[in-house]
A and B are shown apart, each in its own frame.
Chain A
Amino acid sequence: MLSRRQSLRCMAHTGLLAAVGGQAAFAATFLNLAQAQALLLPQALVFQPHPLALDAARVAALAEATQTAVPRGYAPQCWLGLRQQQAEGWVLIDHVVGKYDWIDYAMGFDGQARARGLEIMAYRESHGAEIRNAAWRQQFAGRSGAAQLRMGDDIRNISGATLSCQHVTQGAQRLAVIAQWLATSPAQV
């Protein structure tokens, strides 16, 4: 059994090593728009803004399709990714409240509304930043529509980051439905 002084010394060394080692590995992972677009649709060379026309009827349809409460002032932003003259897919950015502050995130979808991935662009709270972990975000890739993005069934939780996981997943469900609308009739969305 270590004495208390030995335990303190061991913990101090461990903490120092973790801090130093961590700093060395801390390449900035918060993303700006261009970085998120490039990560989500790497084959696209040009991103063309595509304003979304989400009127009250669309918002109601979104709430119905996702079984989520669409936040007031809901206004995700959308870009069409192009490679030369070919559409490669869509990138949508949005924000949700984690526990009390905004989480900015982006999702990429191919032309058939299949998710290419999810990126966390900004996280501002004390707890829950683990949702930036690649393994958690990878769960979204390849899924289509709200029915394939159910929290607990399709998207597993991170203990200690439950609210962030829940709310980002709900946001992803809404974007996945919008992506389906874009895939079928983009001019109407």
Chain B
Amino acid sequence: MKPMPFVAVYLIALGLGLCNPAHSEITPEVAAELKALREQLQQVRAELDNLRRAPPPAAALATSPAAVVPPAVAPALAESAPAPAALSFFGYGEMDYSRPRGDASQATATVRRGVLGWSYRFDERTRFAAELELENAVVSADDKGEIELEQFYLEHDLSDKLSAKAGLFLLPVGYLNEVHEPTRYFGVSRNRVETAIIPSTWRELGLGLRGITDSGLRWDAGVVTSFDLTKWDAASTDGQDSPLGAIHQEGQLAKARNLAAYAALNYNGRPGLNLGGSLFTGGVGHKQAGFAAPNASLSLAEVHARWQPGRWDLSALAAWGRFSQVSALNATLAGQASPVPGRFDGAYLQAAYRLWSQGNYALLPFARYERLNTARSYPGLEASLAPAIAADTRLWTAGASLYLNPQVVLKMDVQKYLNDSSLDRFNLGLGFHF
């Protein structure tokens, strides 16, 4: 049965002017016409339902030249499919070997990360997910390992395109933070910009919303805990290595007098292309009595782009951070190694190419250029009382990823620091996820 009656109803309605607000009054004649059309439509629907319920004659099928004959066996129904298990496990691991170019005695090998994740689905719309991570193989009072909950949150789908989460979760900032399995990034180690400027893996406690739209947009917004500036240790170089990594709270008895807000937007409407950015802003002083910067705040903005045409994988990211109202604190840190920076930023460009693939095997050489500076200024300090502003760190990383399987990768790269060759190194890595 063709859908002509529906078209006819619409055309008649148009002809009668029902779609024109200026003719909103329905005369008795129009009402009678509509009633007749409704009855006709119901009749057509009934005929269509009868047609759908009627089994096709098998003989006719067999004689039809274009027909494909089904076997005469009992029907299988979608409803008979087994339900997915509510409890799922997943994980990833990575092992590294790193050898400095100028001092082989400093070569190290470590089980960088071993992560076990699990998820429990309470129903089709409500789930719990967590990741437990062990860094550097051993955790004890005498070792350098860490064990931590990297994620620990509940999520509920408010609709088919909107979900809310609560708990300890990764912020949607940059490329690495949420997708950090070793099979998902190039290089033995994570790139410097997304470790020194964006403190991957960065998680906070709080509430978040995520939505997707039909046009290919994904948006995120939420309110979470923030960093804790009272942790800043001006005598150490931790703040120079990663200003935010030095003061993260990671859901451990986190100071929560100040909260932060985040928002992120990503466009995925064209396959192979991603454009996005994010903004995080919040207090970091937590109104602490006796602390010189109780009203200090932080803002971090970031934009990124990735294009994967054919065998190429091209990406770029830039991030900018700024501490505010830290001058009074820095005034107390004169002469120290690491005052609080006013601004810090970084960016990278990366290109990878799938040179060879066969079955599950694939070889992808890559190159990445990074430029970053973890301290562009020291507010509140005269130049004579502050450390010299260091030149930007500039480095090339070039290497290759050999996939034995999309879930197992062998990596090799060399890193060349353009303004400090003592940092040059050769790295080997093995990573997997499941």
User: Could you list which residues of chain A lie within 8 angstroms of chain B, going by C-beta atoms?
Assistant: 4, 7-8, 11-12, 14-15, 18-19, 22-23, 25-26, 28-30, 33, 45-46, 48-53, 67, 73, 75, 77-78, 80, 82, 84-87, 90, 93, 95, 99-102, 111, 122, 124-127, 129-130, 132-136, 139, 152-153, 155-162, 166, 182-183, 186-187
Question: How far apart are the CA atoms of A136 and B179 in the complex, in Å?
Answer: 20
List chain A residues, Cβ under 8 A from B69: 186-187
Q: Mark B152-171, 1 if CB is under 8 A from A, else 0.
A: 00010011111101000000
Q: Do residues A11 and B268 form an inter-chain contact, with CB atoms below 8 A?
A: no
List chain B residues, Cβ under 8 A from A11: 221, 261-263, 279, 281
Q: Do residues B55 and A130 form an inter-chain contact, with CB atoms below 8 A?
A: no
Q: Distance in Å from the Cβ of A121 to the closest Cβ of chain B? A: 9
Chain B contacts with A in 178-232, Cβ cutoff 8 A: 178-179, 184, 209-214, 216, 218-219, 221
Question: How far apart are the CA atoms of A33 and B76 in the complex, in Å?
Answer: 13
B45 on the interface (CB 8 Å rule)?
A: no
Q: Do residues A15 and B221 form an inter-chain contact, with CB atoms below 8 A?
A: yes
List chain B residues, Cβ under 8 A from A7: 261, 279, 281, 299
List chain B residues, Cβ under 8 A from A166: 406
| Most central of B52, B73, B75, B281 by chain A CB within 10 Å | B281
Q: Do residues B71 and A186 form an inter-chain contact, with CB atoms below 8 A?
A: yes
- Given A8-B281, A160-B178, A50 and B121 touching (CB < 8 A)? no
Q: Do residues A51 and B68 form an inter-chain contact, with CB atoms below 8 A?
A: no
Beyond A77-B77, A80-B70, A100-B119, 19 additional pairs, beta carbon < 8 A:
A26-B159, A29-B160, A29-B161, A30-B160, A48-B55, A50-B70, A67-B359, A80-B68, A86-B64, A90-B68, A95-B81, A127-B179, A130-B268, A133-B216, A133-B268, A153-B311, A156-B309, A159-B175, A159-B266
Nearest chain B residue, comparing its CB with the CB of A127? B178
Nearest chain B residue, comparing its CB with the CB of A36? B78
CB < 8 Å: which of B51, B89, B308 contacts A159? B308
List chain A residues, Cβ under 8 A from B354: 152
B36 on the interface (CB 8 Å rule)?
A: no
CB < 8 Å: which of A12, A48, A158, A161 contacts B56? A48
Q: Do residues A28 and B160 form an inter-chain contact, with CB atoms below 8 A?
A: yes
Q: Do residues A14 and B67 form an inter-chain contact, with CB atoms below 8 A?
A: no
Q: Do residues A111 and B66 form an inter-chain contact, with CB atoms below 8 A?
A: yes
Listed stretches B269-277, B328-336, B366-374, B384-392; interface member: B269-277
5 tightest A-B contacts by CB? A49-B75, A156-B272, A15-B221, A159-B274, A156-B271
Return 30 A-B CB contacts under 8 Å, by A number. A4-B324, A7-B279, A15-B221, A19-B162, A19-B209, A22-B213, A25-B214, A28-B160, A30-B160, A45-B52, A46-B54, A49-B70, A67-B360, A78-B76, A85-B60, A86-B66, A93-B78, A100-B90, A122-B124, A135-B269, A153-B310, A156-B271, A156-B309, A158-B274, A159-B175, A159-B274, A160-B268, A162-B184, A186-B68, A186-B70
List chain A residues, Cβ under 8 A from B67: 85-87
| Most central of A33, A78, A80, A100 by chain B CB within 10 Å | A100
Q: Do residues B214 and A159 form an inter-chain contact, with CB atoms below 8 A?
A: no
B327 on the interface (CB 8 Å rule)?
A: no
Question: How far apart are the CA atoms of A102 and B119 in the complex, in Å?
Answer: 12
Q: Do residues B68 and A111 form an inter-chain contact, with CB atoms below 8 A?
A: yes
Q: Do residues A101 and B84 form an inter-chain contact, with CB atoms below 8 A?
A: yes
User: Could you list which residues of chain B lie within 8 angstroms of chain A, going by C-beta atoms?
Assistant: 48, 51-52, 54-57, 60-61, 64, 66-71, 73-78, 81-82, 84, 88-90, 117, 119, 121, 124, 127, 129, 155, 158-163, 165, 175, 178-179, 184, 209-214, 216, 218-219, 221, 261-263, 266, 268-272, 274, 279, 281-283, 297, 299, 306, 308-311, 324, 354, 359-360, 406
- Given A22-B211, A124-B84, A51 and B74 touching (CB < 8 A)? yes
List chain A residues, Cβ under 8 A from B213: 22, 25
Q: Do residues A18 and B165 form an inter-chain contact, with CB atoms below 8 A?
A: no
List chain A residues, Cβ under 8 A from B214: 25, 133-134
Q: Distance in Å from the Cβ of B432 to the closest Cβ of chain A? A: 13
- Given A4-B324, A122-B124, A127-B178, A152 and B311 touching (CB < 8 A)? yes
Question: How far apart are the CA atoms of A28 and B175 in the complex, in Å?
Answer: 29
Question: How far apart are the CA atoms of A111 and B211 in the complex, in Å?
Answer: 38
Q: Do residues B159 and A51 form an inter-chain contact, with CB atoms below 8 A?
A: no
Q: Distance in Å from the Cβ of B204 to the closest Cβ of chain A? A: 15
Q: Do residues A101 and B268 form an inter-chain contact, with CB atoms below 8 A?
A: no
Question: How far apart are the CA atoms of A93 and B266 in the complex, in Å?
Answer: 30
Question: How far apart are the CA atoms of A102 and B124 in the complex, in Å?
Answer: 11
Q: Do residues A129 and B272 form an inter-chain contact, with CB atoms below 8 A?
A: no
Q: Do residues B263 and A133 form an inter-chain contact, with CB atoms below 8 A?
A: no
Q: Distance in Å from the Cβ of B400 to the closest Cβ of chain A? A: 16
- Given A4-B281, A12-B261, A186-B71, A100 and B124 touching (CB < 8 A)? no
Q: Distance in Å from the Cβ of B270 to the closest Cβ of chain A? A: 6
Nearest chain B residue, comparing its CB with the CB of A106? B78
List chain A residues, Cβ under 8 A from B48: 45
Q: Do residues A139 and B64 form an inter-chain contact, with CB atoms below 8 A?
A: no
Question: How far apart are the CA atoms of A45 and B53 in the complex, in Å?
Answer: 9
Q: Do residues B68 and A77 form an inter-chain contact, with CB atoms below 8 A?
A: no
Nearest chain B residue, comparing its CB with the CB of A134? B214
Question: How far apart are the CA atoms of A102 and B159 in the complex, in Å?
Answer: 18
Q: Distance in Å from the Cβ of A25 to the closest Cβ of chain B? A: 6
Q: Do residues B266 and A135 form an inter-chain contact, with CB atoms below 8 A?
A: no
Nearest chain A residue, comparing its CB with the CB of B88? A100
Q: Do residues A26 and B160 form an inter-chain contact, with CB atoms below 8 A?
A: yes
Q: Do residues B221 and A157 form an inter-chain contact, with CB atoms below 8 A?
A: no
Nearest chain A residue, comparing its CB with the CB of B219? A18
| Most central of A133, A155, A156 by chain B CB within 10 Å | A133
